[in-house]
Structures are given as structure tokens and as C-alpha cells.
Amino acid sequence: MSDTGAAVAARDSSRTVAAGLLAWVFPGLGHLYLRRRGKGLLLMASLVALFVMGVAMKSRLAMHLGLEDPLALLFGLAQVGAGAPYVIARLLGYELGEVTSPSYEYGNTFTAVAGLLNILVILDALDTARGVKDRKEA
Amino acid sequence: MLGSHLVTLIVFSGLVSTVFALLLRDTTSERLRFGLTAFAAFVLSTLVIGWLTNPFPR
């Protein structure tokens, strides 16, 4: 590979890593970084709305560590996928939720699905940065 | 927060369908068609499954 080719490959590689990291740090940010403004803003609005409504419905956010309850561990990992909204909600003291609330299970579903969908969004940002996705999209 | 099970279902379905449409289709018209189809599938399948479970309340 020529010097120019190596430089281009290094730049593309760092762009891909940056897009993936930004996409995890905040939903939609990876697409905004890649200049997919409309798509990024819509993804951001949808995922943040989903997560915030989940927290408002008294979702539990505390991370369960340990393998004695693997489903609880996976549930926690799914929520972490939401990135900054998860961290901010925990810093604001929403980690315990309210198990007696009628909307508790709905809240759990909203927050976990927001995190899982953001993992798909991260993968999409990585594909877009690598040029795998069609360039014609918004 | 959202008042009723039906409103919660509709909001959840709308947001998830929006994300799926953005990720799985490339043009605006394709996204619109896919999003509306996914939204209808979410809402209708939930209503049908809910109706089918009606004889089994516990």
C-alpha cells in the first residue's frame, strides 16, 4: 500500500471508530458525525424519548452484576446500550425505580428496548462509516 | 405516565417502528411505507394476542 493509501486507510479507520464511539455515547450522534443529519436527529429523538419515558414509568436502572441471575445481567447490559441517557439517569438518582408502580414493567421494557435499539444504531453507524451502507440515504 | 395500556402500546410501537424504518430502508418513501407497516403490525398483533388471551385471565 502506498503512503497515500495508508493515510487514507488510517483516516477511514479512525473515522469508523469515532462514529461507533459517538453513536454509543449518545444515540444518533454517530450519524450526525457522519453528516446524516436527518437520520441522526430522528434516531436521537426516538431513542431518547423511549428511554426518558421508561425512566418516567419507574424503570429499574441498577446494574445487576454476577451470573446467578443471567437474565438480570443481560437486562442491565441492554439498558447500558443507551449510553449517556442511562448514565445521566443514574447520576440523577433514578437507579432503583419503583417496583410497586403499575407502570414498572412497561418502564423496564422501554429502557431495555431503547438500549438494544441503540446497539443496532451503533452497528449502522459503523457500516455507514465503512461505506457498506448506500451513500444515497439522508 | 402514559395513562392507558393502549396509549403506551401506540407510543412504543410508533417509536420502535421509526427506528426500524430508518435503519432498514434507504429512501424516504420506503421508510414511510415500512414504518407504517411495522407500526400496524405491532398494534394489531398485540390486540389480537390480547384478545386471544382473554379466556385466560390468570
Q: What is the pLDDT along chain A (138 residues), one digit of tens a residue?
A: 555 667 667 767 889 999 999 999 999 999 999 999 999 999 999 999 999 999 999 999 988 888 888 999 999 999 999 999 999 999 999 988 888 888 899 999 999 999 999 999 999 999 999 988 755 554
Using an 8 Å CB-CB cutoff, list chain B residues near A124.
Answer: 23
Whether B19 is covered by a domain: the verdict is yes
B57 within domain boundaries: no
Q: Which residue of B has its CA nearest to A54?
A: B1
Residue B55's Cβ-count burial label (10 Å; 0-12, 13-18, 19+) is exposed
Side chain identity at residue A39, one-letter code: K
Q: What average pLDDT does range B32-47 have in this prediction?
A: 97
Are the beta carbons of A57 and B2 separated by less than 8 Å? yes
Q: Which residues in chain B have their CB less than 8 angstroms from residue A39's CB?
A: 22
Distance CA A72, CA A60 (A): 11
When scoring B23, B26, B27 by the number of chain A Cβ atoms within 10 A, the one with the most, hence best to mutate, is B23
Residue A2 has what pLDDT? 57
Cα dihedral A42, A44, A49, A50 sign: positive
Amino acid at B15: L
Taking the CA of residue A46 and the nearest CA in chain B, the distance in Å comes to 5
In a domain, B37, yes or no: yes
Residue B24 falls inside a structural domain: yes
pTM over 0.90: no
- Our CA-based measurement puts residue B27 at a distance from the nearest CA of chain A, in whole angstroms, of 6
What percentage of chain B has pLDDT greater than the value 70?
Answer: 97
Q: Which position has the higher pLDDT, B43 or A137?
A: B43
The structural domain count of chain B equals 1
Residue A3's pLDDT is 59
pLDDT of residue A84: 95
pLDDT score, position A64: 83
Check residues B2 and A131 and name the one with the higher pLDDT. A131
Q: Is the pLDDT of residue B44 over 90?
A: yes
Q: Which of helix, strand or coil describes residue B20?
A: helix
Q: Domain span at residue B42?
A: 5-52
pLDDT above 80 for B40? yes
